[in-house]
Structure 1
Amino acid sequence: MITSAKTIAIIGKYNALGMGDSLNELANFLSESGYAVIFDNESAQNLGLHSHPHMSIADIGRSADVAIVLGGDGTMLGIARQLAPHDVPLIGINQGRLGFITDIPRDQMIPAIAKILEGKHIAEQRCMLQAIVVRDGEQIFSGVAFNDIVLSRGGGSGMIELRVEVDQHFMYNQRSDGLIVSTPTGSTAYALSAGGPLLHPSLGGIAMVPIAPHALSNRPIVLPETSVISVELVAGRDASVNFDMQSFANLIHNDKIIISRSTHHITFLHPEDWNYYHTLREKLHWNEYPSVEGALN
């Protein structure tokens, strides 16, 4: 068993259909199994959950031994960033659409959680990125990302020009719609749709993927995890930088975004039969192919 786990937090996407029933069912199971249960404030207040204490995410980080997140990948991204400094292991229940990182189906929730808490699980660590925005020598914004940090043009503007340096070595000036700097976890998100490579989550590399570059020879590249990337906005209007599409800063010419690997990481607890390649097959529909008979006709 996870002998150190005495207090378990349950965090839900409170506005998702059926979330109240899911949270109550899980809380009742955990309570009957001898665990202390904590809800997050937003779920408790919006769904009227009064059977157990509720706390802010920051307080959950200081109090919980494990956190179970119910929702989609976007919910997990936001919670993971907030809990990363506290090293709280995360278990994801998919009540959304994709489920790359919320990997337990809702209808298998109780048996899967029971086995994980018995110690029948796979623990997996994922890396994160951190960045600061520097303007006229002063830091004006900072953030962390689990998936990616994206510099992009405004919706009604043309291409932007970016000057990119890696470890203080000039790499290129790029004219494009933007640039994605991605973790291995994020390689199946926006970076994939922009033509980036898939990176196994156990890798420590950082992927840089241009968005619709003017020069077609400007291709994605995977950098060492120790790299420090500096991206300067040279030209273009209405540009911004966002972190997991959930926080952002507007940019002006000569702003610099300094990106590196975060000192924090995320620990996921998966069912013992989980494997990354199964996730890829299922979510990217690699298992969907025509029969031999159909292919020949």
Structure 2
Amino acid sequence: MKHFLIYTNKHKDQELATTKRIRDYLESKGCTVKLKVKESDWKEETDAAEEEATGIPLDVDCMIVLGGDGTVLQAARETKKILVPIIGVNLGTVGYMTEIELSGLEEALERLIRDDYKKERRMMLNGKVCCADGTVSEGWALNDIVISRSGTLQIIEFNIYVNGQLLNHYKADGMIVTTPTGSTGYNLSAGGPLVEPKAKLITLTPICPHSLNQRSIILSPEDEIVIEIPGGREGKSQTVEANYDGSHKVTMCTGDHIRIVQSEKITEFVQLNQVSFLDVLHRKMRDS
């Protein structure tokens, strides 16, 4: 690798000290380096047009992402139109998706330069919100698409169809539709299963279901999931949110539905450490 893009979360690298450290080292080795600095790894509102116009260069061999898992997710969403290998430098806390720790930074960069690494491809989700008035909104997620209540603290009701067949009518705080990569995120907090990230499947995990027997459901990556928002208690209108990776948010109301499938786009991670998912999981859970 000779051409790099450093994608930095300024909130995590406020003085850009690590960014400059990486840039200076790579340039001293004859590499070209471009910078993209984001003010935060959390954006309350984005839309599809903004995501398309992110200005990710086409001529980079690798994107080095500085931040935590949220920054990696944002970078992955912005590269959905092009396949740019990503490697994360952990400036966050748990950092399940970050490969490099600061203590081994220069060694890791040297390995990238001499092509001493492997690549690992991860599936993504595509969600398309179809409103009753005919408008359509589309988004992508590497981790998860979450349907949750909006506004008042009340249980929402929704119907889930898989391949056109009704799976269940839920009363809950929401539903998490997650990839294997996202299994260590909100899905884990909601009691869902941990999944090996290279696996190909989709997990449905209800959030605080109003039931004693509703558990996570594992589906094939080829399945089509439709979540429909019907009328609520006593026929009252409901307002919920479809949230893509915690940043791209779309409001849904009674009569609307979202169609979720495996995306044709993927995210490619650069892998330096030859350790198993279980080893990483053990270390992260021990340190968190």
Between the aligned partners of 1:17 and 1:41, the Cα distance in structure 2 is 10
Cα distance, 1:90 vs structure 2: 0.5
2:128 corresponding residue in structure 1: 132
Give the 3-state SS of the residue equivalent to 2:79 in structure 1.
helix
Between the aligned partners of 2:53 and 2:67, the Cα distance in structure 1 is 15
Q: How has the CA–CA distance of structure 1 residues 21 and 252 changed in structure 2, closer, same or farther, with 3 Å as cutoff?
A: same
Cα distance, 1:122 vs structure 2: 2.5
State the aligned residue count. 271
1:82 aligns with 2:78: yes
1:10 aligns with 2:6: yes
1:35 corresponding residue in structure 2: 31
Between the aligned partners of 1:31 and 1:249, the Cα distance in structure 2 is 41
Between the aligned partners of 2:143 and 2:57, the Cα distance in structure 1 is 21
Cα distance, 1:112 vs structure 2: 1.2
Between the aligned partners of 1:41 and 1:94, the Cα distance in structure 2 is 16
Cα distance, 1:120 vs structure 2: 2.0
Between the aligned partners of 2:37 and 2:89, the Cα distance in structure 1 is 19
The Cα offsets for residues 154-202 of structure 1, whole Å up to 9 and x where unpaired, read as 2423111111100111111111110000000110000111111111111
Contact kept, 8 Å, 1:57 with 1:83, in 2: the verdict is no
Contact kept, 8 Å, 1:127 with 1:262, in 2: the verdict is yes
Q: How has the CA–CA distance of structure 1 residues 277 and 129 changed in structure 2, closer, same or farther, with 3 Å as cutoff?
A: same
1:21 aligns with 2:13: no
TM-score by length of 1: 0.86
TM-score by length of 2: 0.89
Picking from 92, 96, 99, the partner of 2:92 is 96
Contact kept, 8 Å, 1:40 with 1:57, in 2: the verdict is no
Cα distance, 1:254 vs structure 2: 1.3
The one-letter amino acid of 1:277's match is: L
Contact kept, 8 Å, 1:13 with 1:19, in 2: the verdict is no
1:112 aligns with 2:108: yes
Between the aligned partners of 1:230 and 1:94, the Cα distance in structure 2 is 35
2:262 corresponding residue in structure 1: 261
Cα distance, 1:204 vs structure 2: 0.8
Cα distance, 1:116 vs structure 2: 2.9
The one-letter amino acid of 1:239's match is: V
2:44 corresponding residue in structure 1: none
Between the aligned partners of 2:141 and 2:66, the Cα distance in structure 1 is 20
Between the aligned partners of 2:98 and 2:262, the Cα distance in structure 1 is 23
The one-letter amino acid of 1:126's match is: R
Between the aligned partners of 2:33 and 2:211, the Cα distance in structure 1 is 54
Contact kept, 8 Å, 1:120 with 1:272, in 2: the verdict is no
Higher relative contact order (CA 8 A, sep 6+): 2
Cα distance, 1:19 vs structure 2: 4.9
1:217 aligns with 2:204: no
2:244 corresponding residue in structure 1: 243
Gaps of 5+ in 1: 44-55, 289-297
Select between 26-35 and 111-120 the one with higher mean Cα deviation.
Answer: 111-120
Contact kept, 8 Å, 2:10 with 2:37, in 1: the verdict is no
Give the 3-state SS of the residue equivalent to 1:226 in structure 2.
coil
Contact kept, 8 Å, 1:209 with 1:220, in 2: the verdict is yes
Cα distance, 1:117 vs structure 2: 2.7
Give the 3-state SS of the residue equivalent to 2:230 in structure 1.
strand
CA-based RMSD of the aligned residues comes to 1.9
The Cα offsets for residues 47-67 of structure 1, whole Å up to 9 and x where unpaired, read as xxxxxxxxx984334231211
